[in-house]
Amino acid sequence: MMARPVYVTGIGMTPFRKKYDITLSELAQEAVVRALRDAGFDRNRVEAVYSGSAWGGPLLGQRILRDLGMTGVPLVNIENACSSGSTALHQGWAAVAQGMYDAVLVIGSEKLSRFGSGALPLEDDDHEVRLGQVMPAVYAMRAQRYFHEYGGTPADLAQVAVKNRRHAGLNENAQFRDPITVEEVLASRPVADPLTLLMCCPKADGAAALLITSERYRNGRSVEVRTSRLTSGVFEDGIVDTTIDEITVRCAKETYESAGIGPEDVDVAEVHDAFASAEVFYYEALGFCKQGEGLNLVRSGATAIGGRIPVNPSGGLLSKGHPLGATGVAQIVEIVEQLRGEAGARQVEGAKVGLTHCTGGGIAGMDHGACTMHVLVR
């Protein structure tokens, strides 16, 4: 069957914050109402719902819809670590593309304030976790290896955090908006050498939602989702090159081929910068520069708003915040605003092609558990 064009017709999200006085369902409901209002769409015409959350618990989607009066529709709850929300979008996109539905709702939501401070818990049936692995340590070790192979200093990574905080200052939905300097980043509390606190993404509570439609419900502000790709990690035994993000390289190749574009065609990107070093790895894996040249891209200003390839104009995970299940959907919200020309002070001029990239989880023997990518065009 020939795939039909698929569009994002409505977007909505909550500000990303720590919100102790509101439930996860209430956060998600706010995002849903905003998305339907943005589209001018009657909730009773939604044909199916895909809800993504890493820690939301059983039947989260049903709890969200119950108080909105949207019960009785086909509903799928999805967990895929940090890629939960973007995987929900992949499922919804596929359903519309194959003609199952003409209007579906995609929700991503998370409430991480429940875990308090510190790194999120990982599954202890993984042998590396039993030996003490946490995600900041993984990205710190990869950064150290990168420095060994290609040069660089912690000050280079600090520039990523400074850039994304500057972008976040223009985004009212971002968790942290006050400007920071390279010196402040380097002086913040050490987490795992060379990463300091301000090089690590903050945990947040938040939700985002999308109305995904076929041509039938497309309107003048709809943005096409040209392609959606999802892949999982490959087990690699023995010595591997940790400076290369294998899953992103593989997913990017599939994504570009499916969309009929190359990295040089991307005008703006939202990538999974859970740590400052990760954003550098992804520049290279996504083809924005050659292997080993990611830090040069940062130094040149190419990935800032106004540069050759603006990355994370929303502030990224480093400053916008990272409520796991909501992150991938919120990336789409940002790209849709950019392609509509509605991003205000952080608008990337002339943006016509946008890319989102969201990885999920860490597991022994794989660089990530999942990777989702989307290309949007206007």
What does residue 366 show for φ and ψ, rounded to 5 degrees? -130, 145
The Cα–Cα gap between 15 and 172 comes to 7
Rounded alpha-carbon distances, angstroms, from residue 219 to 39, 40, 215, 298, 366: 8, 10, 8, 37, 42
Amino acid at 203: K
Supply the pLDDT for residue 166: 98
137: tokens are 């340590």
The Cα–Cα gap between 355 and 332 comes to 9
Q: Which residues of 13-30 are buried (b: 16+ CB within 10 A; e: fewer)?
A: bbbbbebeeeebbbbbbb
Q: 58 preceded by cis ω (within 30°)? A: no
Strands (E), the chain: 7-13, 48-52, 75-78, 103-111, 190-192, 195-196, 205-213, 223-232, 268-270, 353-360, 370-377
Rounded alpha-carbon distances, angstroms, from residue 171 to 115, 164, 326, 352, 377: 26, 11, 16, 20, 22
User: Percent of the chain scored above 90 by pLDDT?
Assistant: 86
Q: Which residues pair with residue 76 across a beta bridge?
A: 50
Q: Along the chain (378 residues), what's the average pLDDT of each consecutive run of 10 residues?
A: 88 95 96 98 97 95 96 97 97 98 98 78 65 82 96 98 98 98 98 97 96 97 98 81 91 98 98 97 97 96 98 98 97 98 98 97 74 97
The Cα–Cα gap between 113 and 246 comes to 31
Neighbouring residues of 225: CB distance < 8 A, sequence distance ≥ 6: 6, 7, 8, 89, 93, 212, 374, 375, 376
Q: Any idea which residue has 């000050």 for tokens?
A: 155
The per-residue pLDDT of the chain, averaged, comes to: 94
Best CA proximity match to 109, nearest among 324, 317, 274, 270: 324
342 exposure class (CB count in 10 Å sphere: 0-12, 13-18, 19+): exposed
310 exposure class (CB count in 10 Å sphere: 0-12, 13-18, 19+): buried
**Model confidence pLDDT, tens digit, residues 195-244:** 999 999 999 999 999 999 999 999 999 999 999 999 998 877 777 888 88
Domains and CATH numbers, the chain: 7-115+205-224 (3.40.47.10), 127-202+227-377 (3.40.47.10)
CB 114 within 8 A of CB 24: no
Helices (H), 260-293: 276-285
The Cα–Cα gap between 154 and 203 comes to 22
Supply the pLDDT for residue 361: 79
Q: Is 70 helix (H, G, I), strand (E, B) or coil?
A: coil
Q: Which residues pair with residue 372 across a beta bridge?
A: 230, 358
The catalytic residues are 82
Q: In this structure, are strands 268-270 and 353-360 parallel, antiparallel, or unpaired?
A: parallel
Supply the pLDDT for residue 86: 98
End-to-end CA distance of the chain, in Å? 24
What does residue 365 show for φ and ψ, rounded to 5 degrees? 90, -5
CB 214 within 8 A of CB 4: yes
**Model confidence pLDDT, tens digit, residues 66-109:** 999 999 999 999 999 999 999 999 999 999 999 999 999 999 99
CB 220 within 8 A of CB 378: no
Supply the pLDDT for residue 127: 61
This prediction's pTM: 0.95
315 — alpha (psi -120 to 50), left (phi > 0) or beta?
Answer: left
